[in-house]
A and B are shown apart, each in its own frame.
Chain A
Amino acid sequence: MTFLTRRRLAGSAVAAATVLAGCAKDAPQDTFKPKGSNARTIDDLQRPLFYVAGAVGLIVFAAIGYSILRYKDRGQDMPKQTHGKTWLEVLLTVIPALILVGVGIPTVAAVFELADQKSECVVNVTGQQWWWEYDYSGTCGGVEITEPIVTSGELVIPTNTSVLLRITSRDVIHSYWIPALNGKRDAVPGRLQTLRLEADEPGIYVGQCTEFCGLSHARMRQAAVALNPADFQAWVDNQLEAYADNAPEADTLAAKGESTFIASCSRCHQVNELVKKDGTPVLAEPDLWVVSGAAPNLTNLMTRTAIGGWTFDLLTEDCREQLWNASPEEFGSLYLQGVWMNTDADADKPVCFDEATLRDWLRDAPAMKPNYSDPAKLDSTGGRTRGMPNLHLNETQIDELIAYLLERK
């Protein structure tokens, strides 16, 4: 081996090391950081594959590099006109075939393991332009869900519980992906497909829609939030709390906000058990106004940490960082406090609440998240929008709505 070849090989090793060291630390959607059994099954298959591929690559590059240096034209004789060696050809066909048998067997085993539908909790997941809806009922990890819970953006699950998602779509194809917990599963209209998630520890595991789904595909995000059984029970109890317990007191800003909400928002957005002044229930009819026929249920809006397809944070940046980086032990209580994290009991406004984001959203949602809600361009849909339109609310109405929405916790 010449000095040059050795140097080249050393160079390749350094290059490979650079690539490995060159990865981002703590990227939230890193596929090499499994946090649950399903993702670990994939990781156990994927990691060795990268090592094998890397090794084969290095052998090929070494052979090419050696040829380049060794057989450069230095005025040597014309080479022998050899047309090949059959034994070598056969060997070089058999070796890759054997490697692939070695890869194929664990692949097939993993495919069938991941397809198993065993579950201790079922959540219906529905994609639409450009957000995810979750629908819980029955028992989830031993916690009885007495009435359906409908929420969006954040999928809250108990830890160490095999959760089976039943995924479909109301319009185009989307794909549900929480990299730390499992691979992707497409949400196809007209089909019900399953994906199993299981998280080892409490924490927030972020993901996003990965099947191109139109204009705001980049702003269709989601997260899975894993809570320990006690915290999960608390979360369920809170979701099922009666509206009356959170209803605004008379003559407050929030009470005006309730009227504004009924006037401006409730034709699409449901708040469970909300009633008009005359006592009749306020029922949203999003199928009349939105192409997908659905809009996020806002009954417990403030228990979530982001809005607008889980793209725009309700938490200020510091508080979000605090929550995302919380240890498994402290995560649950922080999450259940939501925007009231770090806030004294007697404070009138939560310190972690990013009010500006919600204000901007209420003022002009299409400016933040491109959608199809311009009335001039809705001929082909009979006037129905895809995404939230600009409601032309004035600043007073926005103040009222924020006061009202802050109590949807």
Chain B
Amino acid sequence: MTTLELRSGSDPAERPMVTPTAALGMFRRPVAATGWKAWVFTVDHKKLGIMYGATAMFFFLLGGCEALLIRLQLAAPDNTVLSAGLYNEMFTMHATTMIFLFVMPMSAAFANYFLPLQVGARDVAFPRLNALGFWLFLFGGIFLNTSWILGGAPDGGWFMYSPNSSALFSPSHGVDFWTLGLQITGIASLVGAINLIVTVINMRAPGMTLMRMPVFAWMQLVVQLLLLFAIPVITVALFLLSFQRNFGAAFFDVEQGADPLLWQHLFWIFGHPEVYILILPSFGIISEVLPTFARKPLFGYKFVVFSGAAIGFLGWGVWAHHMFASGLGPVSVAVFSISTMLIAIPTGVKICNWTLTLWGGKLWFTTAMNFAIGTIVLFTIGGLSGVTHAAAPADTQQTDTYHIVAHFHYVIVGGGVMGLFAGLYYWWPKIFGKTLSETLGKWNFWLMFIGVNLTFGPMHILGMQGQPRRMVVWPKKLTGDGFFNLGFWNRVASVGAFTIATGVLLFVINVFRTARKSEKAALDPWDARTLEWMTSNPPKEHNFDAIPTVHALDEFFHRKYEEVESADGIRLSRIKTAEDVHAELNANPDAHIHLPSPSYWPIVLAFALPVIAYGVIFNLTLSIIGAVILLFATFGWVLEPSVAGEDEYDPPPPPPALPPADDDGSPKELASVG
């Protein structure tokens, strides 16, 4: 909990001034509690979480349309739906969008919304940084996608290997949009990571030791640490590429003595931890969903936590398995082959523990539970096919074929996206106070589950039988004979893609129908286990009226149930309803809750970066304008008062209740530094 020490003196006259206040006129904090201003200037982690989620969902649909176009092109031999150039842009943008603009921000959405709630905090440690992160992500994503209409999207693949990404071989501005756009979203990830790490380390409720933290919070902590160290690597690589393309540098230019493999090493030192950045949030989510609907604690909590941390460490030592065909030499190849196999061990531990969580439970098959179990099944397939290319010689046959495409889609869609959907169905009533339709949800689940298998299952066969990736066309003469020839499996994969799309469409329909229905969700619809359910749906702006004191893992569950000894052994008995627990907790609310005020500056500061980036591409004058905005916003950020004056609210808030005196007589203060 971050308490602003400067403000904690009991006599207002003794409080030193920490910032200029309204005396400077223009530097005020926005105060609107409703309307668009309440969203645009908000620093509330829950509103930002929703904005992250909605934006990520939009990019998911965009990336999905790109995937459908790719599958349309590949539905028939020598097809002509897309030209070669457009196809290359399409698969580059499909991957970039899904990774950087959907899975990462969607997991940021969950982290933003639920980390503070799960650890019993009122907000994140740095609320304005949180807002900055969201706006940078949004503007970066828009900037990247404007390349479609400003001369062509990037066409070098999401891995953007040098020298194919140099200005000579990719003459449009697409790659510049890519390097600069990812630089902007990279800053978003970095500030978010620092923010969430500090939140988890410093702002946990009393009694919540690290080993009492929900697994979702743990996995997010690991993810944010991975981001903290991985993003700087890609930042460096992107700068090198930008400088090579725009300012004549020669970092990867063979003719000037450089080595293009430098890019591959930098990219994959980022790129492999990135895989765990994509998948661990989903692991965290299903580690919450499975115990809730199995009605028993996660099996082997410590093993799951430590294996997550182990993945976080080992993930740094496997990057060169993306380069087994690049000619690293047998010693490096053998070492990276072994380290890649090692990482299968903690991953296997997780799969075993999830399965054993189901074992002996009392399983309630909600949509969220279906998605969680689907995640285990699909991720297991992806993990096992991963072991087949950890063996480097086998990988030299498999790499850059559809077998790899099958593998990582089972991991990222099967293991990652399905888990995110589990989270959406599980937490929807918490976020919006209404439960998504279970009927539509089941259809959504089965269409996506079957669709994933139809789309990516056949790709194992396609790849092993010799169809390489990133090919705009596959010739008929290479499809082989028999009914199950490669043409057949390509058509199945295309049908599968549209099956997934139908499932996603049902989700969108479900969201709109749920928004229109009036029925409110119960306070504790799933008989949940963790702190975020110990407040109203949706939570109040300050999250908890009283910060709970934590005594155990699954605190909420332990307040509702008690183990009693009976004739036939220990039995679990319900002692309180969720309403009882809430009433008990809220009987003694914290007084004097200080929340950070909204701020104008995060969105202004974030806006400056794409302006600078457009300038780098088109005209440096624009960059100077952007830099001025950036400077202005930075000054505003620093100089604005730390809170809005109470007289600025209209109407002014009611005078706070007299603080109940603590034992030492000082009032409780809970203000976050923004």
The residues of A with any CB-CB pair to B shorter than 8 Å are 19, 21-32, 39, 41-42, 45-46, 49-50, 52-54, 56-57, 60-61, 63-64, 67-68, 71-73, 76-84, 88-89, 92-93, 96-97, 100, 103-104, 106-108, 110-112, 114-115, 129, 171-173, 175, 177, 179, 182-186, 188-191, 193, 206, 208, 210-219, 291, 311, 317, 320, 370, 372, 377, 380-381, 386
Give the Cβ gap from A207 to chain B, nearest Cβ, in Å.
8
Expressed in whole angstroms, the Cα–Cα distance for A179 and B325 within the complex equals 13
Give the Cβ gap from A127 to chain B, nearest Cβ, in Å.
12
| Pair A46/B358 contact, Cβ less than 8 Å | no
Stretch from B51-59, B120-128, B463-471, B609-617 contacting the other chain: B463-471
- Contact pick for B326, options A28, A31, A188, CB 8 Å: A188
**B 330-362 binary contact with A (CB < 8 Å = 1; else 0):** 100110011001101100110111011011111
Residue B388 lies at the interface, judged by CB distance under 8 Å to chain A:
yes
Residues of A within 8 A of B472 (CB): 217-218
Given contacts A31-B398, A89-B303, A210-B401, contact A60 B391 (CB under 8 A): no
* Residue ID in chain A nearest B83 by CB atoms: A370
Stretch from B12-20, B157-165, B436-444, B653-661 contacting the other chain: B157-165
| Pair B361/A67 contact, Cβ less than 8 Å | yes
| Pair A84/B465 contact, Cβ less than 8 Å | no
Residues of A within 8 A of B300 (CB): 83-84, 89
Expressed in whole angstroms, the Cα–Cα distance for A16 and B326 within the complex equals 34
Residue B297 lies at the interface, judged by CB distance under 8 Å to chain A:
yes
- Contact pick for A53, options B388, B465, B469, B570, CB 8 Å: B388
* Residue ID in chain B nearest A370 by CB atoms: B84
Residues of B within 8 A of A21 (CB): 484
Task: Name 15 A/B residue pairs within 8 A (Cβ), A-sorted.
Answer: A24-B461, A24-B465, A24-B481, A29-B466, A46-B393, A49-B388, A64-B358, A64-B377, A78-B572, A79-B294, A107-B392, A107-B393, A190-B260, A210-B325, A370-B83
Residue B571 lies at the interface, judged by CB distance under 8 Å to chain A:
yes
Residues of A within 8 A of B169 (CB): 129, 171-172, 214, 386
- Contact pick for A71, options B333, B362, B388, B477, CB 8 Å: B362
Given contacts A79-B294, A108-B337, A208-B468, contact A61 B380 (CB under 8 A): yes
- Contact pick for A83, options B297, B352, B401, B478, CB 8 Å: B297
Residues of B within 8 A of A71 (CB): 294, 358-363
- Contact pick for B391, options A103, A129, A184, CB 8 Å: A103
Residue B373 lies at the interface, judged by CB distance under 8 Å to chain A:
yes
Given contacts A24-B465, A31-B465, contact A73 B348 (CB under 8 A): no
Expressed in whole angstroms, the Cα–Cα distance for A45 and B333 within the complex equals 15
Residues of A within 8 A of B298 (CB): 83
| Pair B362/A193 contact, Cβ less than 8 Å | no
| Pair A49/B394 contact, Cβ less than 8 Å | yes
Residues of B within 8 A of A32 (CB): 464-465
* Residue ID in chain A nearest B467 by CB atoms: A29
Expressed in whole angstroms, the Cα–Cα distance for A243 and B482 within the complex equals 46
| Pair B464/A30 contact, Cβ less than 8 Å | yes
| Pair A24/B479 contact, Cβ less than 8 Å | yes
| Pair B338/A24 contact, Cβ less than 8 Å | no
Give the Cβ gap from B623 to chain A, nearest Cβ, in Å.
22
* Residue ID in chain A nearest B163 by CB atoms: A172
Expressed in whole angstroms, the Cα–Cα distance for A22 and B482 within the complex equals 9
Residue B385 lies at the interface, judged by CB distance under 8 Å to chain A:
yes
Residues of A within 8 A of B296 (CB): 79-82
| Pair A210/B400 contact, Cβ less than 8 Å | yes
Given contacts A24-B484, A189-B163, contact A80 B570 (CB under 8 A): yes
**B 391-405 binary contact with A (CB < 8 Å = 1; else 0):** 111111111110000
**B 448-479 binary contact with A (CB < 8 Å = 1; else 0):** 00000000010011001111111111110111
With A60-B380, A208-B468 given, name 20 new contacts (CB 8 A).
A26-B480, A29-B478, A30-B464, A30-B466, A41-B393, A64-B358, A67-B355, A67-B363, A72-B365, A84-B300, A110-B392, A111-B337, A172-B161, A172-B164, A179-B397, A183-B395, A183-B399, A212-B164, A214-B169, A219-B473
* Best-buried of B157, B170, B298, B477 by chain A (most CB within 10 Å): B477
| Pair A67/B358 contact, Cβ less than 8 Å | yes
| Pair A83/B301 contact, Cβ less than 8 Å | yes
Expressed in whole angstroms, the Cα–Cα distance for A39 and B365 within the complex equals 47
| Pair A112/B330 contact, Cβ less than 8 Å | yes
Residue B207 lies at the interface, judged by CB distance under 8 Å to chain A:
no
| Pair A107/B461 contact, Cβ less than 8 Å | no
Residues of A within 8 A of B396 (CB): 42, 114, 182-185
* Best-buried of B327, B484, B553 by chain A (most CB within 10 Å): B327
Given contacts A29-B466, A53-B385, A183-B393, contact A24 B482 (CB under 8 A): yes
| Pair B363/A72 contact, Cβ less than 8 Å | yes
| Pair B387/A103 contact, Cβ less than 8 Å | yes
| Pair A26/B363 contact, Cβ less than 8 Å | no
* Residue ID in chain A nearest B527 by CB atoms: A78
Given contacts A64-B373, A186-B327, A210-B401, contact A100 B341 (CB under 8 A): yes
Give the Cβ gap from B252 to chain A, nearest Cβ, in Å.
10
Residues of A within 8 A of B466 (CB): 27-31, 179
Expressed in whole angstroms, the Cα–Cα distance for A216 and B470 within the complex equals 10
| Pair A60/B351 contact, Cβ less than 8 Å | yes
Give the Cβ gap from A191 to chain B, nearest Cβ, in Å.
6
| Pair A111/B358 contact, Cβ less than 8 Å | no
Residues of A within 8 A of B461 (CB): 19, 22-24
Residue B259 lies at the interface, judged by CB distance under 8 Å to chain A:
yes
Given contacts A103-B341, A103-B391, A188-B261, contact A57 B468 (CB under 8 A): no
Residues of A within 8 A of B505 (CB): none
| Pair B384/A23 contact, Cβ less than 8 Å | no
- Contact pick for B349, options A89, A182, A188, CB 8 Å: A89
- Contact pick for B399, options A92, A96, A210, CB 8 Å: A210
Residues of B within 8 A of A183 (CB): 325, 393, 395-397, 399
Residues of B within 8 A of A39 (CB): 397
Expressed in whole angstroms, the Cα–Cα distance for A237 and B170 within the complex equals 42
Residue B513 lies at the interface, judged by CB distance under 8 Å to chain A:
no
Residues of A within 8 A of B171 (CB): 372, 377, 380
Expressed in whole angstroms, the Cα–Cα distance for A45 and B295 within the complex equals 43
| Pair B352/A92 contact, Cβ less than 8 Å | yes
In chain B, positions 194-236 with a C-beta closer than 8 Å to chain A are none
- Contact pick for B299, options A45, A56, A82, A93, CB 8 Å: A82
Expressed in whole angstroms, the Cα–Cα distance for A243 and B305 within the complex equals 73
- Contact pick for B481, options A19, A26, A215, A317, CB 8 Å: A26
| Pair A27/B84 contact, Cβ less than 8 Å | no
Residues of B within 8 A of A211 (CB): 161, 325, 400
* Residue ID in chain A nearest B571 by CB atoms: A77
In chain B, positions 258-297 with a C-beta closer than 8 Å to chain A are 259-261, 294-297
| Pair A64/B348 contact, Cβ less than 8 Å | no
Residue B6 lies at the interface, judged by CB distance under 8 Å to chain A:
no
* Residue ID in chain B nearest A34 by CB atoms: B397
Give the Cβ gap from B367 to chain A, nearest Cβ, in Å.
15
Residues of B within 8 A of A320 (CB): 477
Given contacts A104-B337, A111-B337, contact A68 B373 (CB under 8 A): yes
Given contacts A29-B465, A173-B260, A217-B470, contact A79 B362 (CB under 8 A): yes
| Pair B303/A84 contact, Cβ less than 8 Å | yes
| Pair A27/B478 contact, Cβ less than 8 Å | yes
Residues of B within 8 A of A185 (CB): 325, 327, 396
**B 146-174 binary contact with A (CB < 8 Å = 1; else 0):** 00000000011100010110011111000
Expressed in whole angstroms, the Cα–Cα distance for A218 and B297 within the complex equals 51
* Residue ID in chain A nearest B84 by CB atoms: A370
Residue B563 lies at the interface, judged by CB distance under 8 Å to chain A:
yes
* Residue ID in chain B nearest A29 by CB atoms: B466
| Pair A193/B327 contact, Cβ less than 8 Å | yes
Given contacts A19-B461, A56-B384, A111-B333, contact A216 B362 (CB under 8 A): no
Residues of A within 8 A of B391 (CB): 45-46, 49, 103, 106-107, 110
Give the Cβ gap from A44 to chain B, nearest Cβ, in Å.
9
| Pair B325/A186 contact, Cβ less than 8 Å | yes
Expressed in whole angstroms, the Cα–Cα distance for A56 and B387 within the complex equals 11
